[in-house]
């Protein structure tokens, strides 16, 4: 094949894999949103078949040869071709280092781990998950060895979620920030001790209507999306102009569903803002999990929990819940939305304490992967780190070391991305605010078009053309750092 | 390969194709139920990809060889193997007679035909659809020639929906019945002239709740199914224990949604009653479109419009619409549900006049395929046949020859199945009633378990082990005939 043939095959096959990923996403979405309960076995078989098909198309020898040939010969390629070949080769290089038996063993262990965790968690039965977690950690170490690394085995795992990142960069950023936050948290949390949750009865259908209105105002196009209800909120991309979000509702408190919607809307706006002409190729894909999380958290926290947002929010809230709004002014709403309190559960943590939860997990993952910590020492090490970073010890393992699904389902190395999102978005927002001087007036008026436009131009439209570190340098002129986020917290909660 | 290998490949490949069909069904279901409007292009690509994949797997040379080898060597096979090989070979024989270019041309023409029809129908613009319909009819004739036939080219088309059936059998059955009905309809319809539709305001959410309750009472397991809202009601099978139905709502009349639900529940009960161990093979598939329609219409009409059903229905209706129920007793409910009136629209026709709509279409299809009728003569021929069988002429083409999507989307030969359903189910019901003497008491009490059990044992559980004609002979001891249905109508509306 000549270069033109290779290029054609490259893009044809990527577009086929893109179709399969969309189908897979629909199978997964339906499974969590509308699938009848008894259908789960059949659905698992459908998902397995389609995922395997996508995997096989991606790792087909002819396709790999074609990617390798393009990587070698693309000396004077278009920028987009260069990016696409670079990123596909990067993903492929990871995959081809893992033998089929290893992939199968990991898939099995992850499935068993998940099932075991679901059953063992309610009774905090760590003994029950210990054997499978030991196997999963062992698999993670073997995966790191198979993939290879220069500095630390953890880098090989981290790279799956944060391309071009390393523990030696991420760890000082996050632990440094956590140290600063440790000293700040008691002072901030103290101010909120007298604030209760917003009591009331908030009908689900009204919460849905409010969430939908706010998502639309933020710029989420419901002609290319949906908002549904699930046990765990998520965003998923099913195809071009088909990016869906979900949330969950508590009828005694409207905040979790609302901020769930805003968070997932942030993810969806990123996906819908990726260049449509490049869908299915890296130029039309998100940079990393950390940059994705920067978008969800930017909308959720930096915009959605801003004082000026409360002017807008109070107006919308009054429309859907006039009685409750009459008892809650903008300041009160701000306090409810910005309550800072060290607590045990990561997914419920506020934006200030959130980093601490991540640092605990990252340090434990590092030690597990390095082999300096054994699985049976994990609960104790967990408690010690929670004591250190949040001043708390969990009375139960289910709300301690067993609270998150990640490790038990085979995902080790994912957690740092969540916290990196805060670093990225605080630096983005600093630049954006300088570009849009009257941003707060716009937000108060419910006009989010300029900030969304800024994100589209500076983040979304690039797809993977820049790596995360390159992107933030382009935006801010600086390397990724945690000082901006620390400053933001200090100023916001002064 | 030896016989064991062939058998293994045969069943493995069928199960793969079954997975793909389920995925395809989910893509189609979502498209009609929840997909965001702007996603339609991407969805079309996903559906095309998955359908093509299923088609390729089915018509793969190795698979065809394997089916042929099994067909020749299965002299002493198990009954199930024999049925599965026979039916797969039958479907395959149809497909391999059609060259790829023909299949592609037909797919294109069907897509263009559908789009053209959607645009042209509102303004009754028959000129706009004439060229594409002419092409579709020409394709149908070519398809008949390619597939081959002994008696009439129409047989080759009919066979796709009614295996083992022929025009020389179906036509006298249906036209004979239509002649009888022609003489009966004026007398029956006359009795209903003073009956209006049930006026009122019937909230959609309450109609949904009532429909769901009734479907569940009939035996539809919502742990393996769902009821959603669409523009056109349908039933679809997505996988094992995943058979979904939809309906549409009119807030001024509860009957269309209700009988839509009961009709689709009938289809769903058949699918859920097919032997689960044989899913994906003919032994786990429905016999024909006609037998499928026999099930939907049995529940909709022979049970759902029965006098004893009104006892049950009035009770459920009173629960969901107490005010309306207070003004409508069981007899009144029966009259509303059993209004007979010659009208122009097939999908809104009552059980008595329905056959007439089908006969008109069947006769026109026969003449088009035989070449004795040209497309530009179609509107006139349509009107003449409506005049003959229903005493009506449509003032507009959109409610005349352009009312149904079938022809314009390439489906010629499908219509007879709808009416055959009535013939099958009246004969089934006659036998079932003899087996369950207190059926009406059970129905009045809302207990449908015995009639469902009878259908499971006598129809559902056989899959395709018997052909339609064999099945009805096994049940009734007689060949398929229309006298039983005519008798049923005569007695019911005496």
Give residue-wise pLDDT tens across range A364-420: 999 999 999 999 999 999 999 999 999 999 999 999 999 999 999 999 999 999 999
Q: Using CB atoms, pick whichever of B23, B39, B223 lies closest to residue A50.
A: B23
How far away is chain A from the Cα of B36, in angstroms, using its nearest Cα? 5
Determine whether the interchain pair A240/B16 forms a contact, defined as Cβ–Cβ distance below 8 Å. Answer: no
Interface of A with B in 347-366 (CB under 8 A): none
Say how far apart CA A479 and CA A368 lie, in whole Å. 29
How far away is chain A from the Cα of B276, in angstroms, using its nearest Cα? 11
Say how far apart CA A111 and CA A129 lie, in whole Å. 12
Mean pLDDT confidence for A31-49: 93
Nearest to A451 by CA among A292, A269, A316, A291: A269
Say how far apart CA A85 and CA B45 lie, in whole Å. 24
CA-to-CA separations, B414 to A210, B102, B358, B404, B473, in angstroms, rounded: 47, 20, 10, 12, 23
Does A183 have pLDDT greater than 90? yes
Cα dihedral B90→B94→B99→B101 (10° resolution): -130
Which stretch of A117-121, B196-200, B292-296, B403-407 has the lowest confidence by average pLDDT? B196-200
- Chain centre distance of CA A289: 5
Does B258 have pLDDT greater than 90? yes
In chain A, pLDDT over 70 holds for what percent of residues? Answer: 99
Query: What's residue A56's pLDDT?
Result: 92
Determine whether the interchain pair B22/A42 forms a contact, defined as Cβ–Cβ distance below 8 Å. Answer: yes
Query: What's residue B215's pLDDT?
Result: 98
CA-to-CA separations, B103 to B90, B149, B371, in angstroms, rounded: 18, 19, 22
Report the b/e string of B247-263 with b at 16+ CB within 10 A.
bebeeebbbbbbbbbbb
Please give the radius of gyration of chain B, using alpha carbons only, rounded to the nearest integer. Answer: 23
> Both tokens of residue B453?
């059990």
Determine whether the interchain pair B46/A239 forms a contact, defined as Cβ–Cβ distance below 8 Å. Answer: yes
- Sequence-distant (6+) residues with CB within 8 A of A64 are A92, A96
Where do we find the tokens 């059949």?
A42
- Sequence-distant (6+) residues with CB within 8 A of A320 are A206, A207, A209, A210, A213
In chain A, pLDDT over 90 holds for what percent of residues? Answer: 93
Q: Using CB atoms, pick whichever of A19, A49, A238 lies closest to residue B19.
A: A49
Query: What's residue B181's pLDDT?
Result: 97
Do the beta carbons of residue B378 and residue B187 sit within 8 Å?
Answer: no
Mutate to test the interface with A, among B17, B28, B34 (most CBs of A within 10 A): B34
Query: What's residue A75's pLDDT?
Result: 62
Determine whether the interchain pair B226/A34 forms a contact, defined as Cβ–Cβ distance below 8 Å. Answer: yes
Q: Is A264 a catalytic residue?
A: yes
Question: Could you count the other beta carbons within 10 Å of the beta carbon of residue A174?
Answer: 23
Query: What's residue A74's pLDDT?
Result: 66
Query: What's residue A417's pLDDT?
Result: 97
A230 touches B at CB < 8 Å:
no
Determine whether the interchain pair A239/B42 forms a contact, defined as Cβ–Cβ distance below 8 Å. Answer: yes
A32 touches B at CB < 8 Å:
no
B224 touches A at CB < 8 Å:
yes
Query: What's residue B494's pLDDT?
Result: 87
Q: Which residue of B has its CA nearest to A41?
A: B240
Chain B residues in contact with A240 (beta carbon < 8 A): 39, 41-42
- In the structure, what pLDDT confidence band is assigned to residue B76 with cuts at 50, 70 and 90? low
Give, in degrees to the nearest 5, the angle at Cα A67 between A66 and A69: 65
Does B75 have pLDDT greater than 80? no
Mutate to test the interface with B, among A48, A242, A268, A277 (most CBs of B within 10 A): A242
Say how far apart CA A313 and CA A441 lie, in whole Å. 13
Determine whether the interchain pair B242/A45 forms a contact, defined as Cβ–Cβ distance below 8 Å. Answer: no
Say how far apart CA A141 and CA B412 lie, in whole Å. 61
Does A319 have pLDDT greater than 90? yes
Mean pLDDT confidence for A144-163: 97
A16 touches B at CB < 8 Å:
yes
Interface of A with B in 296-335 (CB under 8 A): none
Does B1 have pLDDT greater than 80? no
What is the set of active-site residues of B? 264
> Both tokens of residue B452?
């469902």
Query: What's residue A2's pLDDT?
Result: 83
A221 touches B at CB < 8 Å:
yes
Q: Which residue of B has its CA nearest to A280?
A: B42
Identify the sign of the CA torsion A248, A254, A258, A260. Answer: negative
- In the structure, what pLDDT confidence band is assigned to residue A190 with cuts at 50, 70 and 90? confident
Nearest to B154 by CA among B415, B358, B377: B415
Mean pLDDT confidence for A329-352: 94
Mean pLDDT confidence for A194-223: 94
Do the beta carbons of residue A260 and residue A250 sit within 8 Å?
Answer: no
Nearest to B165 by CA among B155, B174, B175: B155
Determine whether the interchain pair A36/B225 forms a contact, defined as Cβ–Cβ distance below 8 Å. Answer: yes
Segment A474-489, tens digit of pLDDT: 999 999 999 999 999 9
3-state secondary structure (DSSP) of residue B445: coil
Where do we find the tokens 């340090």?
A363
Determine whether the interchain pair A42/B226 forms a contact, defined as Cβ–Cβ distance below 8 Å. Answer: no
Mean pLDDT confidence for B133-139: 98
Does A89 have pLDDT greater than 90? yes
Half-sphere exposure of B210 (CA within 13 A, CB side): 26
Determine which one of A264, A285, A351, A366 is catalytic: A264
How far away is chain B from the Cα of A123, in angstroms, using its nearest Cα? 27
Report the b/e string of A131-152 with b at 16+ CB within 10 A.
ebbebbbebbbebbeebebeeb
B223 touches A at CB < 8 Å:
yes
Q: Using CB atoms, pick whichever of B23, B34, B42 lies closest to residue A240.
A: B42
Segment B26-73, tens digit of pLDDT: 999 999 999 999 999 999 999 999 999 999 999 999 999 999 999 988
Beta-strand pair A235-239/B225-229: unpaired
Where do we find the tokens 């069907």?
B110
Segment B209-254, tens digit of pLDDT: 999 999 999 999 999 999 999 988 999 999 999 999 999 999 999 9
Query: What's residue B74's pLDDT?
Result: 66
- Mean pLDDT rounded to a whole number for chain A: 95
Say how far apart CA A269 and CA A466 lie, in whole Å. 19
């Amino acid at each position: 094949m000549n270069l033109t043939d290779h290029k054609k095959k490259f893009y044809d096959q990527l577009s086929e894999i893109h179709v399969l990923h969309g189908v897979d996403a629909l199978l997964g979405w339906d499974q969590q949103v509308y699938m009848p309960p008894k259908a789960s076995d059949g659905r698992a078989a459908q998902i397995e078949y389609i995922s395997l098909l996508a995997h096989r198309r991606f790792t087909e020898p002819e396709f790999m040869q074609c990617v390798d040939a393009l990587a070698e010969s693309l000396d004077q390629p278009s920028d987009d071709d260069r990016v696409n070949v670079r990123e596909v080769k990067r993903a492929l290089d990871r995959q081809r280092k893992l033998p089929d038996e290893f992939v199968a063993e990991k898939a099995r262990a992850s499935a068993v781990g998940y099932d075991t965790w679901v059953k063992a968690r309610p009774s905090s039965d760590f003994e029950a998950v210990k054997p499978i977690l030991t196997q999963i950690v062992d698999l993670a170490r073997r995966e790191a060895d198979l993939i290879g690394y220069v500095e630390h085995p953890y880098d090989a795992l981290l790279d799956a979620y944060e391309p071009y990142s390393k523990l030696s960069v991420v760890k000082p950023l996050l632990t440094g920030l956590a140290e600063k936050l440790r000293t700040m948290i008691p002072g901030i949390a103290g101010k909120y001790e007298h604030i209760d949750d917003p009591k009331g009865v908030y009908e689900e259908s009204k919460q849905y209507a409010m969430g939908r209105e706010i998502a639309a105002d933020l710029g989420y196009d419901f002609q290319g999306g949906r908002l549904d209800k699930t046990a765990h909120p998520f965003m998923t991309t099913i195809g071009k102009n088909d990016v869906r979000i979900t949330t969950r509702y508590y009828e005694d408190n409207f905040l979790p569903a609302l901020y769930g919607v805003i968070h997932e809307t942030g993810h969806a706006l990123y996906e819908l803002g990726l260049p449509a002409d490049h869908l299915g190729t890296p130029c039309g894909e998100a940079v990393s999990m950390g940059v994705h999380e920067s978008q969800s958290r930017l909308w959720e926290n930096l915009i959605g929990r801003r004082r000026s947002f409360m002017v807008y929010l109070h107006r919308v809230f009054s429309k859907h819940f006039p009685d409750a709004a009459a008892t809650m002014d903008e300041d009160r709403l701000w306090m409810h939305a910005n309550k800072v309190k060290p607590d045990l559960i990561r997914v419920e943590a506020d934006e200030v304490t959130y980093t601490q939860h991540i640092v605990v997990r990252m340090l434990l993952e590092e030690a597990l992967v390095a082999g300096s910590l054994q699985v049976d020492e994990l609960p104790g090490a967990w408690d010690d780190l929670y004591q250190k970073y949040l001043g708390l010890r969990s009375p139960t393992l289910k709300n301690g070391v067993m609270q998150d699904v990640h490790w038990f389902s085979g995902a080790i190395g994912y957690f740092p991305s969540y916290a990196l999102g805060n670093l990225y978005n605080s630096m983005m927002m600093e630049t954006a605010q300088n570009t849009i001087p009257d941003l707060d007036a716009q937000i108060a008026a419910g006009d989010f078009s300029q900030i969304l436009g800024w994100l589209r131009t500076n983040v979304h439209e690039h797809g993977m053309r820049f790596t995360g570190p390159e992107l933030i340098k382009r935006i801010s002129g600086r390397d990724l750092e945690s000082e901006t986020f620390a400053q933001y917290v200090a100023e916001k909660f002064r």
